[in-house]
Amino acid sequence: MIVSERLKAIELGREGDPFAVLGPHPLGTGVVIRAFLPGARDVAVVDEDDNVIAEAERAGDAGLFEAYGAAMPHRYRLRVGYPLGPVTIDDPYRFGPLLGDLDLWLFAEGNHLDLYRVLGAHPHEIDGVRGTRFAVWAPNASRVSVVGDWNHWDGRVHAMRLRRDAGVWEIFLPGVGPGARYKYELLGPNGDMLPLRADPFAQRSEKRPANASVVTAPSAFAWSDDAWLQSRAEKQQRDAPIQIYEVHLGSWRRIPEQGDRFLTYGELAEQLIPYVAELGFTHIELLPVTEHPFDLSWGYQTTGWFAPTSRFGDPDDFRAFVDAAHRAGIAVILDWVPGHFPTDAHALGKFDGTPLYEHADPREGFHREWGTYVFNLGRNEVQNFLIASALYWLREFHLDGLRVDAVASILYRDYSRKEGEWVPNKYGGRENLEAVAFLQRLNTIVYGHVPGIATFAEESTAWPGVTAPVEFGGLGFGYKWNMGWMHDTLHFLERDPLYRGHHLDGISFGLVYAFSENFVLPLSHDEVVHGKRSLLGRMPGNEEQQFANLRLLYALMWSHPGKKLLFAGGEFAQRAEWRAQASLDWHLAQYGPHGGVQQLVRDVNRISRERGALHERDCEPSGFEWIAYDDWRNSVVAFVRWDAARDGHVVCAFNFSGVRHDRYVLGVPQPGAYAELLNTDAAAYGGANLGNGGSVTATDRPAHGRPFSVSLTLPPLTAIWLAP
């Protein structure tokens, strides 16, 4: 017998087990059906043919009704009389449990690799009734409801069933379908009302500044990239040319005639992808398109871990963008951010009234530098949430890789923390052992379950084995950003050329560790914001010298061991810092020196793809040999790159001084003619067109410890590539 206190709790929205009160229940020799329908005048139980079986009576003052009968059909419906007229509905409280015991057990163990198909909102049909099933993890809440337009955002109406073993709340809502806006209303452990929460597993969200989740139909997109998926593994191997164009979709290009609006995913597919292909890049890396509320966070303050941002279109529009990239032969990498999450009231923080996704101790669970929460990677369910997110993007959107942001902040317990602000691990060390296990598990799973993908770590320290296999104690990433190379190289090139000769170790030191990991050389968005100036603006000298130095930087980068990454705007030497709130300065590309840099990027991409020596042994010491690294008088550096068969090579020479060197004798591997593959002083690039007439001949004059040499003209601030 249901006591009056529980009926009152239903009316007040305080009942934690609504299925024990509402819906059909045995009563005496018959069945009672209870329904809570605020605003209803009368309620009748009807069969599938709309025949009245029982009239309901009021059981309270706020919309609670009871109907009693000797027997009730399993598939009954409720005819509800409202002031505007009657409505016949299916009772959500007549449906049994939704999630299987195996689903709940796998989630609690942290091993449900299809979790995004179980939790969240999914259009569904039960007993011929169409609706949406909702499920959310909130083990410490005392009541959870789904609220939306259909129930006037009244949390008393559709309270959910708790599956206690896994802490998951669930309900099937007939009549709620794709496009419906919704959130979860939760009461905390002490019954306090929490801010409405967006669905952690929502696959679509409203466009900011609104932030409700949106019920999403299963994708109807027809992919056309089967051939790409079958062959992409070879395009992402260590011996492949990997040349990445990093881009923030919201600022790549805008439409000023229409309020400076963003391009849509469709427009980006039509404009960005052909542009990237024409420049010769092999990959596009997207700053996070995971849903986020604040434009200027660039996507790194993620609130939608399963939702492409609605700024540019819907999820199938994003699928079409990726499909178009694959048709153009371009891989797509997504920036993915498991290191932290924002404190927005509708997001994950203290989700059920307790620290659920984050650590309870702020010394572990809060980033003071970023003002964000830190995931509790020691919790099975949190690991499962993040790994399911990674799998979702790779599987459902056919993405070719994930670049994991801020790995150092995940690995170190004292990252950006002072003494006393962090908690040592169980051995007293600073290493986050749970995070190590998580990253190893993440890479093991995504590589094992999605063939051909690659993962990239933005890891800014000397943590050993970031790209070593997990079975050998490594983290298991495919590639690691070489932050040391980036810092040393930019610092070197920012020097006045007059003094560079005394600092050539800024170039040579990177080769001490260049093959300790599978490296990507990044000139990313982080290097052209926050007062650092653009890459062009960071170069010393007058305008002509700045352009020459930038061309020299790109030639060094594209010939140096390691894969390549350049942020959008760098390819045409944007003068201003990157601004996320505005389009790139495309008008500059029409001017000579800017267009010249753009042409240089086309050519280094093409030459690097065509010449195996410039990519096949990027990650192997046998692919690199110094010719000169200590010519401090002339400020010249030179080296050889070898291909995999070691029967092809490219000689790369760099004059970092502002002085022209005539008849510079450079040792080379063999005699005979050498073609000038690249001269960054060429007129086509905006240079003075000094050089070697397209070729030189190696003689048996020894130099640099080699039996053969060439005599070169090295223009100031110029790189020259030679090949037999």
DSSP states of 358-424 as a string?
Answer: B-SSHHHHEETTTTEE-B-TTSHHHHHHHHHHHHHHHHHS---EEEE--HHHHHBTTTT--TTSS--
pLDDT tens-place string over residues 213-270: 999 999 999 999 999 999 999 999 999 999 999 999 999 999 999 999 999 999 999 9
pLDDT tens-place string over residues 82-109: 999 999 999 999 999 999 999 999 999 9
Contacts of 679 (CB under 8 A, 6+ apart): 687, 691, 692, 715, 718, 719, 720, 721
Of the three residues 214, 231, 256, the one that is the final residue of a domain is 214
Q: Are residues 562 and 670 in the same domain?
A: yes
Let me know if residue 415 belongs to a domain.
Answer: yes
Give the count of domains, the chain.
4
Let me know if residue 565 belongs to a domain.
Answer: yes
Q: Are residues 442 and 559 in the same domain?
A: no
| Two structure tokens written together for 383 | 């690991």
pLDDT tens-place string over residues 342-400: 999 999 999 999 999 999 999 999 998 899 999 999 999 999 999 999 999 999 999 99
| Two structure tokens written together for 694 | 């397209």
pLDDT grade for 73, boundaries at 50, 70 and 90: confident
For residues 530-554, average pLDDT: 97
Calpha distance 73→78 (Å, rounded): 12
Let me know if residue 487 belongs to a domain.
Answer: no
* Residue tagged active-site, from 335, 458, 488, 681: 458
Of the three residues 93, 127, 159, the one that is the final residue of a domain is 93
For residues 691-713, average pLDDT: 95
Q: Are residues 46 and 129 in the same domain?
A: no
Let me know if residue 170 belongs to a domain.
Answer: yes
| Two structure tokens written together for 594 | 């800017």
| Res 52 pLDDT > 60 | yes
CATH number of residue 602's parent domain: 2.60.40.1180
Q: Are residues 302 and 451 in the same domain?
A: yes
| Res 512 pLDDT > 70 | yes
**Least confident range of 59-68, 397-406, 701-710:** 59-68
Let me know if residue 636 belongs to a domain.
Answer: yes
pLDDT tens-place string over residues 395-448: 999 999 999 999 999 999 999 999 989 999 999 999 999 999 999 999 999 999
For residues 448-465, average pLDDT: 96
CB under 8 Å, gap of 24 or more: what pairs does 422-426 form?
422/363, 422/364, 423/361, 423/363, 423/364
Let me know if residue 560 belongs to a domain.
Answer: yes
Query: Of 724, 576, 719, which is closest to residue 652 (Cα–Cα)?
Result: 719
Q: Are residues 262 and 160 in the same domain?
A: no
Q: Are residues 270 and 335 in the same domain?
A: yes
Task: For the beta carbon of residue 426, count every other beta carbon within 10 angstroms.
Answer: 6
DSSP, collapsed to helix, strand or coil, labels residue 304 as strand
For residues 191-196, average pLDDT: 96
| Res 29 pLDDT > 90 | no
pLDDT grade for 71, boundaries at 50, 70 and 90: confident
Q: Look up 458 and say whether it is catalytic.
A: yes
Let me know if residue 450 belongs to a domain.
Answer: yes
CATH number of residue 327's parent domain: 3.20.20.80
Q: Are residues 35 and 117 in the same domain?
A: no
Q: HSE (CB half, 13 Å, CA atoms) of 99? A: 34
Calpha distance 413→375 (Å, rounded): 12
| Res 578 pLDDT > 80 | yes
Q: Are residues 399 and 445 in the same domain?
A: yes
CATH number of residue 185's parent domain: 2.60.40.10
Write the Ramachandran bin of 663: left for phi over 0, alpha for psi from -120 to 50, otherwise beta.
left
Q: Are residues 40 and 56 in the same domain?
A: yes
Q: Look up 618 and say whether it is catalytic.
A: no
Q: Are residues 655 and 603 in the same domain?
A: yes
Residue linked to tokens 């401090």: 632
CB under 8 Å, gap of 24 or more: what pairs does 216-224 form?
216/121, 216/178, 216/315, 217/123, 217/177, 217/178, 218/123, 219/315, 219/316, 219/319, 219/396, 220/316, 221/316, 221/319, 221/320, 221/323, 223/319, 223/323, 223/398, 224/323, 224/326, 224/327
Rounded to an integer, what is the distance from CA 380 to the centroid of its chain? 22
Predicted local confidence at residue 511, as pLDDT: 95
Calpha distance 370→558 (Å, rounded): 33
In one letter, which amino acid is 270?
A: E
Could you tell me the residue range of the domain that residue 331 belongs to? 221-481
Predicted local confidence at residue 4, as pLDDT: 81
pLDDT grade for 2, boundaries at 50, 70 and 90: low
| Res 1 pLDDT > 70 | no
pLDDT grade for 74, boundaries at 50, 70 and 90: confident
Calpha distance 220→598 (Å, rounded): 39
Predicted local confidence at residue 422, as pLDDT: 94
Q: Are residues 375 and 257 in the same domain?
A: yes
Q: Are residues 449 and 518 in the same domain?
A: no
Let me know if residue 401 belongs to a domain.
Answer: yes
**Phi, psi of 249, rounded to the nearest 5 degrees:** -60, -30
* Residue tagged active-site, from 396, 405, 603, 618: 405
Calpha distance 160→144 (Å, rounded): 6
Of the three residues 153, 187, 214, the one that is the final residue of a domain is 214
Task: Report the mean per-residue pLDDT for the chain.
Answer: 96
